[in-house]
Amino acid sequence: MTASKVATSAASLFFLLSSPINSFAADTFSATDAQQVRALFLRQATAETAHDLAGIDGVLAHATPGQPDPVSFIARAYRFWGLEAVMDHFRTTFTGTWQFEPDQGAIRIVPMGADVAQIYAPTKITIGTAGQPGTQYQFLVNEFAIRTAEGWRISTIVPVPTQ
């Protein structure tokens, strides 16, 4: 990773965690917010299993004009910085076998502030080449959702393999 990407990522995270996100910032993180973040994550899971790129785009954050792109996908084997790079990753991934099945009873929504929440979800992900059944793996998926003008959206995806 280049120094400029590290600086951009650090600046984006600082922006998200230290300042209200435009004029739609809330004073607190409510039970309704937790329900909305959980529903957002489940929409993402449904879109991933359906290989629905429009659905994925609809749950990811879009940068406010003049602000840094808040989207990243960071895994052990790769890193994608920015909405378009993450969407390209899903375009490639969806050409093969891909199922995303979170353990709905184990999902945890952890407020990080009024406008940021962590999502934790043990998840079975089935991966394989096109036309093949694929292999199932267990991940501890950690994501961050941010409050935007359009409502809650996913900013960061960090799948951690359990094996």
In this predicted model, what pLDDT tens digit does every residue of 40-87 receive, in sequence order?
999 999 999 999 999 999 999 999 889 999 999 999 889 999 999 999
**Whole-number Å distance between alpha carbons of 85 and 71:** 9
pLDDT value for 132: 85
Strand locations in 65-115, DSSP E? 72-74, 79-81, 97-102, 108-111
**CATH code, domain carrying 77:** 3.10.450.50
Secondary structure of residue 130 in the 3-state scheme: coil
**Whole-number Å distance between alpha carbons of 51 and 94:** 5
pLDDT value for 76: 87
Question: Closest by alpha carbon to 41, among 141, 136, 161?
Answer: 141
pLDDT value for 77: 87
Q: How many domains does the chain have?
A: 1
Residues of the chain with pLDDT under 70: 1-25
The alpha carbon dihedral of 44, 48, 50, 53 has a sign of positive
**Whole-number Å distance between alpha carbons of 99 and 45:** 8
Cβ neighbours around 81 below 10 Å, total: 17
Q: What is the pTM of this model?
A: 0.83
- Residue 154 phi/psi, 5-degree rounding, is -80, 130
pLDDT value for 27: 85
What domain range is 24 assigned to? 3-161
